[in-house]
Chain A
Amino acid sequence: GDSVTQMEGPVTLSEEAFLTINCTYTATGYPSLFWYVQYPGEGLQLLLKATKADDKGSNKGFEATYRKETTSFHLEKGSVQVSDSAVYFCALSATGNQFYFGTGTSLTVIP
């Protein structure tokens, strides 16, 4: 079945460090891929998406490229800020009805 595997957390970085959170997927067909973010005490928010191979999603300085050949959708940011501290979830949907989420990666950025 469809599934998403995320790198284990938690991740702790200093402000302005480079961030990579790995995500790989298994799916039949051609899924769309997503990154969601959950800030403390808030609901999940869509951070970025890519709907076909080689698409690059980007938002708020975060980027992720849909790599079909490696079945990956790694999240990157060149310079993290304290305000980026949150839990990040990778997700996929092949049908548009059912979403599959990873287990989440907790990021803490220290000044």
Chain B
Amino acid sequence: DAGVTQSPTHLIKTRGQQVTLRCSPKSGHDTVSWYQQALGQGPQFIFQYYEEEERQRGNFPDRFSGHQFPNYSSELNVNALLLGDSALYLCASSLEQLYYEQYFGPGTRLTVT
């Protein structure tokens, strides 16, 4: 049973560019959450998707957007990249009725130069 997978593993972008990160949830999971983890910090909640809709959003600007597909996989898009967007981006999946059992992927390391 594959766990949560994320791609790519690492990414280097230039300021002002746009980036798309991808996440495949654990088999059977229907809810996907995205987090930003800066170096030495805890994960910060970006948003959560359920039934292809953004259900809740953290304190992140509109440059951060997402999508969930019918197969429950998800994308995180970041526009107009800033140096401060450099971080590890984590995807977590869960079952809607067992929200507390989040399974995290290994993350995508984004470096903005």
Contacts and interface: CB of A to CB of B under 8 A. Distances in A.
Given A95-B56, A97-B56, A98-B58, A43 B104 contact: yes
A71 B81 CA distance: 38
Interface residues of A, number: 24
A77 interface: no
| Secondary structure class of chain B's binding surface, majority of residues | strand
Interface string B10-37: 0000000000000000000000010100
A99 B45 contact: yes
Interface stretch (A12-20, A61-69, A101-109): A101-109
11 contacts: A32-B100, A36-B104, A44-B43, A46-B103, A51-B100, A89-B42, A93-B99, A99-B45, A101-B35, A101-B44, A104-B41
Interface of B: 4, 33, 35, 40-45, 48, 55-56, 58, 90, 92, 99-107
Interface of A: 4, 32, 34, 36, 42-46, 49, 51, 89, 91, 93, 95-104
